[in-house]
């Protein structure tokens, strides 16, 4: 919300890393103008979902010498501005999959600045073309690829239908066979936190933030258990040697050691995808 990316480092603690991070203008009424989802591309560059600027952007500086210099990768679909890109997943081909709910707009779903009348999941091709994958979700949020890049997962932050969706990816990057992988709605009766961030381990298990903390789901949707945190968790990421899961809450950064290893630390070769 304060338009800053923070960095935490062992032995140093937390400090500001990048400001501004999501809104580069002079004035905004957005309660969440900063960046949301972050990712590193194959060339080691930082990609950002920028709420305030309503775009997918790339920082034009080395990650060890950050500065607020950005290139717009995508900010429109069919001439209309995105709502506020939220989270992203980078394919080995260079394509970027991302979600676009309206959480960065001052009035969210009812904001008069909203130009697109749905909440989309998109694919940005390596050559810069934006394709709509689905506009049927009410509140798409976290997004992740399976280790072999054959499936795309999307979390929906709708308390009336708090689900994690799974889609098969075609060789040209489209989605097919949509299905509910896991319905977390019943858990909301006794726990707080809607589905939000998603990460995947080497075996394809999903670590899905949601009711109670972080839910651990198998690739076929079985709920193995929950990392109970006692607070709503917004997102998570594997770090260190791949066996540490870092989790962000409203006011806290937490971590837990795991027996599994996050995808990307010892990643097997992904399935080729057309580069357009």
pLDDT tens digits for range 91-141: 999 999 999 999 999 999 999 999 999 999 999 999 999 999 999 999 999
| Residue range 192-236, pLDDT digits in tens | 999 999 999 999 999 999 999 999 999 999 999 999 998 899 999
Calculate ∠ Cα 60-50-55, nearest 5°. 85
CA distance 150 to 14: 36
pLDDT of residue 96: 98
Q: Which token pair is 186?
A: 């019943």
Residue position matching structure tokens 């304060």: 2
What is each CA distance from 16 to 118, 163, 268, in whole angstroms? 34, 33, 34
pLDDT of residue 268: 41
User: Cα–Cα distance between 192 and 231 in angstroms, integer?
Assistant: 7
Q: How far apart are CA 150 and CA 140, in angstroms?
A: 20
Among 24-33, 100-109, 265-274, the range scoring the smallest mean pLDDT is 265-274
pLDDT at 271: 45
DSSP for 76-122, please give it.
Answer: EETTEE-S----EEE-TTS-EEEEE-STTSTTGGG-TT--SSS-EEE
Per-residue pLDDT band for 1 (boundaries 50, 70, 90) equals low
The topology (CATH level 3) of 5-136 is: Neuraminidase (2.120.10)
* Residue 245 in this model has a pLDDT that exceeds 80: yes
* φ, ψ at 162 (rounded to 5°): -85, 90
pLDDT band at 27 (very low <50, low <70, confident <90, very high): confident
Averaged pLDDT score across all residues of the chain: 94
pLDDT for res 266:
67
What is the predicted pLDDT for the residue at 173? 95
Distance CA(126)–CA(145), nearest Å, equals 16
Q: What pLDDT, on a 0 to 100 scale, did the predictor assign at position 272?
A: 47
DSSP string, 50-72: ETTTTEEEEE-S-TTS--S-EEE
What value, to the nearest 5°, has the Cα angle with vertex 142 and ends 139 and 145?
130
Tokens coding 121 = 């999941």
- Residue entry with tokens 């962000």: 248
* In contact, 176 and 184? CB cutoff 8 Å: no
Q: Please write the tens of the pLDDT for every residue from 118-127.
A: 999 999 999 9
Mean pLDDT throughout 33-50? 96
pLDDT of residue 74 exceeding 80, the answer is yes
Q: Tell me how far apart the alpha carbons of residues 151 and 233 are, in angstroms, rounded to a whole number.
A: 24
> Has residue 269 got a pLDDT over 60?
no
3-state secondary structure of 170: coil
Question: Mean per-residue pLDDT for 139-160?
Answer: 98
What is the structure's pLDDT at 120? 98
213 touches 227 (CB < 8 A): yes
Task: Please give the pLDDT value at position 35.
Answer: 95
The answer, yes or no, to whether residue 270 has pLDDT greater than 70, is no
CA-based nearest residue to 183, from 212, 151, 160: 160
Print burial letters for 33-54: b (CB count within 10 Å at least 16), e (below 16).
Answer: bbbbbbbeeeeeebbbbbbbbb
Q: Please determine, for residue 175, whether its predicted confidence score (pLDDT) is greater than 50.
A: yes
């Amino acid at each position: 919300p304060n338009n800053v990316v923070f960095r935490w480092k062992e032995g140093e603690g937390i400090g500001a890393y990048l400001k501004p991070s999501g809104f580069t203008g002079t004035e905004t009424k957005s309660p969440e103008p900063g960046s949301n989802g972050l990712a590193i591309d194959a060339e080691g560059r930082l990609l950002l979902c920028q709420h305030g600027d309503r775009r997918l952007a790339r920082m034009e500086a080395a990650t060890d010498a950050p500065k607020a210099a950005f290139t717009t990768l995508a900010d429109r679909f069919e001439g209309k501005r995105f709502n506020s890109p939220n989270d992203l997943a980078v394919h080995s081909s260079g394509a970027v999959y991302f979600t676009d709910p309206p959480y960065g707009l001052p009035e969210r779903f009812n904001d008069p600045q909203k130009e697109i009348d749905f909440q989309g999941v998109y694919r940005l091709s390596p050559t810069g073309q934006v394709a709509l994958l689905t506009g049927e979700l009410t509140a798409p949020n976290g997004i992740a690829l399976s280790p072999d890049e054959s499936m795309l997962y999307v979390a929906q932050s709708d308390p009336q239908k708090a689900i994690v969706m799974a889609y098969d990816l075609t060789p040209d990057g489209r989605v097919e066979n949509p299905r509910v992988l896991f319905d977390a709605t019943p858990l909301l009766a006794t726990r707080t936190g809607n589905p939000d961030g998603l990460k995947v381990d080497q075996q394809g298990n999903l670590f899905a933030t949601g009711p109670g903390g972080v839910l651990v789901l198998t690739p076929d949707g079985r709920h193995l258990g929950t990392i109970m945190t006692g607070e709503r968790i917004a997102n998570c990421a594997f770090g260190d040697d791949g066996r540490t899961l870092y989790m962000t809450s409203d006011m806290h950064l937490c971590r837990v050691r795991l027996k599994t290893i996050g995808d990307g630390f010892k990643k097997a070769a992904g399935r080729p995808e057309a580069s357009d």
